[in-house]
Copies of this chain bind each other. A is one copy, B any other.
Amino acid sequence: MSDFSIGEAAARTGVKAATIRYYEQIGLVAPPARTEGKQRRYGRDDLSRLNFIRHARALGFELDAIRDLLALSAEPDRPCVDADGIALRRLAEVDGRIAQLTALRAELKRMVEGCGHGRVGDCRVIETLGAPIA
């Protein structure tokens, strides 16, 4: 009844085998059952958990935040303020990062467009980098 090798688990969740072992090592996922020959065998619940982790990682949550989210998801009757808070903090981070990157983008664009494709001596790219930061 649905037990998967680490390779199958990797294929089904998109989390690489080596990464799954790493998650086990740091205690983010529980050690799974083993065969007689000591190979790992995963069940459906393990796959769900890995899928949750992968999804959260894709959204940029740190492993510690994911640990908290997983703990919360195990207590369905608690108010979801905490989960909400974690997500809100992440949203704020993402907003900040986008703003920062947008500013960088503008400066990079100015640099690149100012480049007349001539000699390095006249290059706006090099020149801009050499200038003190505003």
Contacts and interface: CB of A to CB of B under 8 A. Distances in A.
Number of copies: 2
A95 interface: yes
A77 interface: yes
A14 B90 CA distance: 28
A131 interface: yes
The prevalent SS among residues of A at the interface is: helix
A60 B104 contact: yes
Interface residues of A, number: 56
A73 interface: yes
8 contacts: A14-B133, A55-B128, A55-B132, A77-B121, A80-B117, A83-B120, A84-B115, A98-B102
Given A14-B133, A130-B73, A125 B58 contact: no
Interface of A: 14, 48, 51-52, 54-56, 58-60, 69, 72-73, 75-81, 83-84, 86-88, 90-91, 94-95, 97-98, 101-102, 104-105, 107-109, 111-112, 115, 117-123, 125-126, 128-133
A52 B14 CA distance: 40
Given A94-B105, A98-B102, A120 B77 contact: yes
Given A80-B126, A98-B102, 14 more contacts: A48-B130, A51-B133, A55-B131, A59-B108, A59-B129, A60-B101, A73-B120, A75-B120, A79-B118, A80-B125, A84-B115, A88-B112, A91-B108, A94-B105
